[in-house]
Amino acid sequence: MAKSALSTKEIGVYEMLLYIGFTLSTFWVTGLMQGFLAHYPQLPEEERPAFLFNAYLLFLLSSSVVLALMLWGKAGVLLVLTGQPELPFYELFAVFLWLNVPSYLVENFYLVLQKPKAILHFGLFAFGLQVLAVLGPVFLGFGLLWSFYALLLLGFLKYAWLILLLVRWGAFKPDLKMAMYWASLSVPLILYSLMGSFNQSFDNWLVNFQYGGDEQAFAIFRYGARELPLALALTNAFGSAMLPEVAANLDGALSAIREKSLKLFHLLFPLSILLALTSKWVFPLVFNEDFSASVLIFNIFLLVMVSRLIFSRTILVGLNANRMIFYFSLLELAFNVSLSFALAPFFGMAGIAIGTVAAHSLEKVLLCWYLYRKFGIGIGQYTNMRWYLAYSTVLILSFVIGTGLS
């Protein structure tokens, strides 16, 4: 989008809509999905098809509540989250979100059904068409309005895929007790995810607060406040894939996490190191000169990789230690809010980024400590510490060199 004819302000409008959708949906989607992945393997075989259908019903109900909130509570949502009375394409985006959220079930259904090729096919379909839907109309000169029309069409197609999957593998038997039991198990995870998503949403809110709702400043921060491309998706997917294994066989899962996470180390750490050293030249080329101010923020967020590749939380979720995960998330949130507010007046957007990275690191330290104290599982049992420490040191040094702090 940065290479298109759209202005930085128009890109800021699109980013604000994504931020609203993220704030209103990510926490409960993530919490329910993690509860789903941990609970499904524990169900008797004959109950699993009905569980798939009831998962769909709960997602449909929840996304409908979000749609109603966005449409009927529009003034309040916009005022609280953006500080603005109006935002273009808001209603179209609300309907797209309503269609799109339930389709997150598709890849998770394929995961528990042990169909990895189907996950790949759906991912290529969904991601490829979403890129085309957003960028195609923009580069053809039709503007963002037709991008949102295309997103609505994609939302219908993904929803249809979900329905076909339910027809094939589900059992159309509504069961309130089954759905509510799953939801109750997921409540601590939802609350934890709420804290995590609030940490990210808080950053965006603080930028709006600090810069008076300026769409251009918001776009600059949003383009910088990104982790290494694909890193979040890969680590989240890995953590989700390991959840059923932790629930079924802890000892085997610990060895598997240690071995398989090393492959992520060898992929993600070198890429992060390379970008930390070259981002000041690469960033303006990939985007445009208007986003040069995003480079420092991006480099700071690259440091999240140091804590992102420790999978203590995945193990704790698989062990149903969800309450402590939530408590630690509260500490992370309090630390993030305090530090970001303290640093923002002095360092601007960079101060907000530092607060987020520091808070995320603190939370991971606490999770590792609790996993060892409560269950006797040391970090070396699920992490190759030799490679981890070496890569982390080089990444931090690369950050210092790349940002000109040396």
CA distance 37 to 312: 17
Domain ranges across the chain: 1-191, 225-406
Q: What angle do CA 23, 261, 258 make, to 5 degrees?
A: 125
> 386: how many CB neighbours lie within 10 A of its CB?
10
Predicted local distance difference test score (pLDDT) of residue 406: 41
Alpha helices (H) in 40-173, listed in sequence order: 48-72, 74-81, 90-100, 105-112, 116-139, 144-169
Helix (H) or strand (E) holding 357: helix 349-375
| 8 A C-beta contact, residue 38 and residue 186 | no
Structure tokens at 207: 């930028």
pTM for this entry: 0.66
Low-confidence residues of the chain, pLDDT below 70?
A: 1-3, 196, 199-200, 212-214, 229, 288, 290, 405-406
What phi, psi does 305 have (nearest 5°)?
-55, -30
CA distance 134 to 114: 31
Predicted local distance difference test score (pLDDT) of residue 220: 80
Predicted local distance difference test score (pLDDT) of residue 240: 79
CA distance 192 to 239: 15
Predicted local distance difference test score (pLDDT) of residue 2: 67
Predicted local distance difference test score (pLDDT) of residue 195: 72
Predicted local distance difference test score (pLDDT) of residue 405: 53
Structure tokens at 355: 């607060």
- With CA atoms as reference, report the closest residue to 299 among 397, 214, 388: 397
Alpha helices (H) in 287-348, listed in sequence order: 295-302, 305-308, 312-318, 322-347
| 8 A C-beta contact, residue 349 and residue 216 | no
Predicted local distance difference test score (pLDDT) of residue 138: 87
Predicted local distance difference test score (pLDDT) of residue 399: 92
SS3 at position 227? coil
Predicted local distance difference test score (pLDDT) of residue 70: 93
- With CA atoms as reference, report the closest residue to 112 among 52, 166, 189, 188: 52
Structure tokens at 251: 């000892």
| 8 A C-beta contact, residue 340 and residue 349 | no
Helix (H) or strand (E) holding 25: helix 8-39
368-402 tens-digit pLDDT: 999 999 999 999 999 999 999 999 999 999 999 98
> 245: how many CB neighbours lie within 10 A of its CB?
17
| 8 A C-beta contact, residue 273 and residue 70 | no
Taking CA atoms, 54 is separated from 24, 162, 166, 173, 384, in Å, by 22, 13, 10, 8, 39
